[in-house]
Structure 1
Amino acid sequence: MQKVLLLHSSREGQTKKILHFIETQLGSSAQCEIKDIHQLPSADLTKYDRVLIGASIRYGHFNKKLYQFIEAHADQLKAAKAAFFSVNLTARKPGKDTPETSAYSRKFIEKSPWTPELHGVFAGALYYPRYKWFDRMMIRLIMHITGGETDTTKEVEYTDWQKVEEFSEQFARF
């Protein structure tokens, strides 16, 4: 049985939800551990057969703790069967939902000392009622500018679960 480490840098929980879905897709062939990068200053990645990092975007940026973790573990990530996916609302639009077409993915590759061989991009979710007032208003403004949902009473999930399932299959074969 494969040992798999599923790491997340999640703000509102959609990235973690995606990791749980991937864990389910891997099924009984994998013994998975899900951990929060923000709570994990160090890890021995050599104890795992596969590693997957999922990270969300907020206001155009990944959390700095993601980059700190990757810098601290770059050699282990390069040596491991390690993959990465990002979650952002821009990926709800066709043509902005692949590593090649996502500005966030391109910036990640430029900034990171690690280039994952397997890289996915998924649309996230809007959880307006759960946000603090400032975040709700800022995200509403961004969604207005980009032609998205602006009704702050709604929660909208844009994640394409079929795409996540396909990525899960690739990760399992990786």
Structure 2
Amino acid sequence: MKKALLLHSSREGQTVKILHFIEKELAGDYQCELVDLHEIPNVNLADYDKVLIGASIRYGHFNKKLYRFIDNNFSALKASNAAFFCVNLTARKPGKDTPEGSVYVQKFLKLSPWQPETIDVFAGALYYPRYRFFDRIMIQFIMKMTGGETDSSKEVEYTNWDRVKQFSKRFGSL
């Protein structure tokens, strides 16, 4: 069976949840391995038929370890035709839910030497009850400024699973 490597740079778990969904979509054709890219500086990408990186935004930035991983594995990423997706709360708004409309994806493409051909962006989730006090207050402030949910007792998932399913099909057919 063909193998797919699903790498994540996740903070609150929605990126991992999206990758698990993609893993189920690919299950008939691929044996998937889900790995935290923060924990492995290098990996032999040639061992896999497909490679996908999912990364989340926190306070407007990707984790610096994502860029380190890309720098350490640039040639292999380029050779493997790896795909990429971004998860953020801004993507809950129409127009900001596409690679072209996402300021985070555009910033990523400017900062990263790796320019994936297959790329997408998905809305994340709010998990207020799970956040530490400081994070909860900061996220409420950001959500208030952007017209989002501010009730700290709620958990709200904005991910459009139909779009994730479409991306899974696209990724699977690369």
Report TM bin, short chain: over 0.9
Larger helix fraction of residues: 1
Matched, 1:36 2:36: yes
Task: After superposition, give the CA deviation of every residue in 1:100-154 in whole Å (9 maximum; x if it has no partner).
Answer: 1100000000000100010010000000000000000000000000000000000
| Matched residue, 2:148 | 148
Query: Normalised by the size of structure 2, how large is the TM-score?
Result: 0.99
Query: Normalised by the size of structure 1, how large is the TM-score?
Result: 0.99
Once residues 38 and 169 of structure 2 are traced to their aligned partners in structure 1, the CA distance between those partners, rounded to angstroms, is: 27
| Matched residue, 1:97 | 97
| Matched residue, 1:47 | 47
Per-residue deviation, 1:39: 0.9
| Matched residue, 2:25 | 25
Once residues 109 and 71 of structure 1 are traced to their aligned partners in structure 2, the CA distance between those partners, rounded to angstroms, is: 13
Once residues 80 and 41 of structure 2 are traced to their aligned partners in structure 1, the CA distance between those partners, rounded to angstroms, is: 18
Once residues 32 and 7 of structure 1 are traced to their aligned partners in structure 2, the CA distance between those partners, rounded to angstroms, is: 10
Structure 1's consecutive aligned runs of 4 or more residues displaced over 4 angstroms after TM superposition are none
Once residues 84 and 166 of structure 1 are traced to their aligned partners in structure 2, the CA distance between those partners, rounded to angstroms, is: 14
Once residues 124 and 131 of structure 1 are traced to their aligned partners in structure 2, the CA distance between those partners, rounded to angstroms, is: 14
| Matched residue, 2:137 | 137
RMSD: 0.5
| Matched residue, 1:4 | 4
Counterpart residue identity of residue 141, structure 2:
L
Q: What runs of 5+ residues in structure 2 fail to find an aligned partner?
A: none
Identity of aligned residues (%): 66
Local SS of the residue matching 1:39: coil
Counterpart residue identity of residue 169, structure 1:
K
Once residues 101 and 71 of structure 2 are traced to their aligned partners in structure 1, the CA distance between those partners, rounded to angstroms, is: 24
Is the contact made by 1:49 and 1:81 (CA closer than 8 Å) also made in structure 2? no
Task: After superposition, give the CA deviation of every residue in 1:5-48 in whole Å (9 maximum; x if it has no partner).
Answer: 00000000000000000000012210110000111121011111
